[in-house]
Amino acid sequence: MTLLLIGAIVWGCTGRLETTAAAVAVCHGNGDATLYVKETEIASVSLGDPVHVSGTEAVVTTLPASPVAADQVLEEYALYLGGFRAGEWVYPVTVKIDPGESPAGVYPAEIVTDSVSPISFLLN
């Protein structure tokens, strides 16, 4: 029981609770990647937000001004990974990724829109 309590205290002080927006990443193999984000989630995405793509870390470098139709820019597998429907509006978000970490291809991705330490709930 004591070990469990110590573990909970350590996690509360050093752990993170993250809020994420789901996306699909199209990596071009040269360090550039485009993440496609649903229209309902783009409002929570900001420049500099951390991104997780296939175990690789990156940050949002540009945000789009307008959406594009998912089926006009994504192939069927990318539509499936992102949970997009034909005709659905998506926003292309640009990130820089180490080319050796994520070769060209389509990957599931997450954009971290908020990160909170659990201890902050007790102290606020």
Name the E strands within 1-124.
17-27, 32-38, 50-53, 56-62, 68-69, 89-96, 105-116
In the chain, the amino acid numbered 79 is: L
Q: Which of 50, 60, 54, 32 is nearest to 101 (CA)?
A: 54
Show pLDDT as tens, one digit a residue, over the chain (124 residues).
777 767 666 665 666 666 778 999 999 888 889 999 999 999 999 999 999 998 888 999 999 989 999 999 999 999 998 999 988 999 999 998 877 777 888 999 999 887 666 666 567 6
pTM greater than 0.85 (yes/no): no
The structural domains of the chain, ordered by start, are 18-115 (2.40.30.170)
